[in-house]
Each structure stands twice: as C-alpha cells, then as structure tokens.
Amino acid sequence: MHVVFICNEYPPHQHGGVGSLTQTIARSVVRAGHHATAIGTYPAASVRGHECTENDEGVQVVRLASRSRLPLLRAFGEQRRLWRFILRRHRSHPVDLVEGPEPSFWAAPGRLPFPTMVRMNGGHRFFADAENRRPARARSWVERRSLARSDDLVSVSDYTARRTAALIDLGGRPIRIIPNPVDTDRFRPTGRPVPGTVVFFGTLCEKKGVRQLVESFPAVAAGVPGARLVIAGRDLFDPVTTGSFRARLESLVPAGLADRVEFLGPLDQDAVRELIAGADVCALPSHMEALPVAWLEVLASGRPLVASSTGPGPEVVVDGQSGLLVDPHDPAAIADAVTALLTDADRRARFSAAARVRAVEQFSIDHLISLNLEHYAALCRRWSADHR
C-alpha cells in the first residue's frame, strides 16, 4: 500500500500537533511494510529550489516552495502544483489513497484514480466556534468543499466529529473515530523531575490557555515556595495588543516572580521530551482541542497532567486518575490543581503510573496503527467496488 499524506508542517519544519501526528502515522505505515509520501507547501526560504525531497525513516517528504505573495493566486498555484506532483507520483509509484486535514481537497481534480480521506483534527469552523469568533467566509467555503469532495471522513475524537457535524452539514455521512496516536517508545518515563517545576509547551496564543496559566502562577508560587514555571513554544501575533503574545505573557508576571518564570521559545521534539522529563507537573489548559498530541506525549512520558475539562478532555484524561481536568478559563481552578499535585508526591506518583498505562493501552501507535491500516484497506476496497 502507498499512502500519501498532505501536510504543510512536517517536522523538523516549524510544526504543531498535525505535523507531529502525520510524522508518527507515516513512519508507522513504513514500519508496517508499506510506503508513505508526505507532501506539502512551505515558505520559499525554507525550500531549496522549487521543491526538495527528504527521507525521514523511509517516509518520502516532499516540500514544494510557496512563492506568490498574493493569497488567492498562491492558494490556487500551490494546489495546482501539489496535485500535479501527486498524479505524477501515482504514475511512477501507484498511490492507494491520499489523506489530509480538513481543507486538503477543495481544489482536487474532479476524477482521481484513488480515494481521498479527511482526518479531522479541528478545522476552521471548529476552532472559530470554540473561540467565539466569526468564521472567515473563504476558509469556510474551502473547508465545506473539501469535506464534501472527500471519499471518507475520520475524526480524532468523538467530540470533534459531533461538533464538526453540527457546524457543517455533512449530510449524515458516517465518521469513523480513530484517536491520535503517540509513539510510546519515543515518549516514555525517563530522567528525574525537577522538584516544583511546572511545564507548558505549545504555541503561545490565547486558545492554548497559557495566559490563564501565567495568571494562575502567583497563587501556585504562594502555596509552593520552590515552584517555577517553564514555558516553551513559538510566539504568535496577539490581536489584543497588536504585538507579541509572549510579550503580553511576560507583562503578566509580577516583578517578584520574574526569576521563577522562564520562556524558552520553540523546541524540537528531542528538547520537548527532555522538558517533559524534567517536569513535576505539566499544565496544558487549552480552551479547546480536537485531541491534542501534546497531552498524549505527557501521558506517555508518565508525568502528571493538568488539562482541560472542555471538548475531548474526558476522552483523553480520566479525571482524578491519570490527570486533573479543570476549567481552562479559570486561573484559580488551574492554580488549585497544579498546587494540589505539587504538594502531594504520592498522588503525583499514582497519576504518573496511571498516565503511562493509559497512553500505552489506548493511544500507543502500536495499538492504533493496525486500526488505521485496516481502515485504509476497507476504504480502498469500498472505493474500488464503487468505481468499477
């Protein structure tokens, strides 16, 4: 089987959860004896020439350079080049199916010689609704058209499937739930945590709940004299201050606690693993997620997790057993949960053990790759029968 993944953030390029997820699945497809190609468009400065190809543990990673400065022309040009490349690759190395996130197939050719599959990780409408903002008309159109043109729909959580279906008329189409996987060999309990260390990693923006975490820290520091907060992640534009979101976070840290709050900037996966290993508690109180890979990485690493009660939180964390779920909009609730874990070593140990077990049993790539491969095979059989 040859699976093509559409991905514009494949590591080590600057990436988020979708990039990590795509890499994990693609590598596992190769390890299972199949072929995988990951293709996407990237800023021209990061691509040598018009396109470049890399080998990532057997995955052929194709990066196409994005060059036009005009958004509409760029979007059409990128799509035209992407599908030309995929169809050219199909002629030399037959493709069995193509999968990608919500907006992947809006400009796909009308007749393709293979099926397509959207893996829902929370699209534009999903997050616009979660953040109580008006969705952009053009992006909404792209998303609806892509979902309508895809042959198959998979969602990474039940919550994401239900909410997307409520926001976008999918015509009652079935949606298969296959959770995001985590590499439990790569992310595993290692090292010794640094006492009192609270870790956040992820994009620095409002929806990740990092502002409320920073606002909660004075209460944590008052209850735990040795506590310190370490924040890692790429900075984004802050629409409130029209400046840096990191700068806004730094301005919220009281002067007396400045030496106990550290900002590290973006980290690669190896550095993230080391960061998690040194955490007494990981706090990732996102306002909304589809099913965050970062949460799974913490569970697999056997570290206590403070996460969000909203959205798919209960599908990932068993509250009070493998972590604590809190209202991500409430700094006091975040402070209470973090303090409760920092001041109870026995509870941290129980949570750590339970988190690792849950990651291995429910979210390990070894467990979930078979579900993905079985679904791929069933989709190909169904599509072939329909196109005889």
How many angstroms separate the first and last alpha carbons of the chain?
Answer: 19
Question: Do 326 and 223 belong together in one domain?
Answer: yes
Q: Per the domain annotation, does 257 fall within a domain? A: yes
Average pLDDT over residues 17-24: 88
Question: Do 148 and 8 belong together in one domain?
Answer: yes
Tens-place pLDDT, residues 174-230: 999 999 999 999 999 998 999 999 999 999 999 999 999 999 999 999 999 999 999
Q: pLDDT category, 148, cuts 50, 70, 90?
A: very high
Question: Do 375 and 297 belong together in one domain?
Answer: no
Question: Do 35 and 21 belong together in one domain?
Answer: yes
Q: Per the domain annotation, does 381 fall within a domain? A: yes
Residue 80: pLDDT over 90 = no
**Which domain, by its residues, includes 275?**
197-363
Distance CA 171, CA 230 (A): 45
Q: Per the domain annotation, does 192 fall within a domain? A: no
Per-residue pLDDT, 367 = 87
Dihedral over Cα of 182, 187, 193, 194: its sign: negative
| Kind of pairing between the strands at 116-120 and 97-100 | parallel
Q: What is the pTM of this model?
A: 0.90
Q: Per the domain annotation, does 268 fall within a domain? A: yes
Q: Per the domain annotation, does 190 fall within a domain? A: no
Question: Do 221 and 135 belong together in one domain?
Answer: no
Question: Do 214 and 234 belong together in one domain?
Answer: yes
Q: Residue 145 maps to which CATH number? A: 3.40.50.2000
* DSSP codes, 3-16: EEEE-S--TTSS--
Q: pLDDT category, 157, cuts 50, 70, 90?
A: very high
More confident residue, 78 or 222: 222
Question: Do 146 and 201 belong together in one domain?
Answer: no
How many separate domains does the chain show?
A: 2
Distance CA 56, CA 26 (A): 9
Distance CA 336, CA 380 (A): 50
Per-residue pLDDT, 366 = 87
Question: Do 139 and 223 belong together in one domain?
Answer: no
- Tokens representing 285 are 């109180």
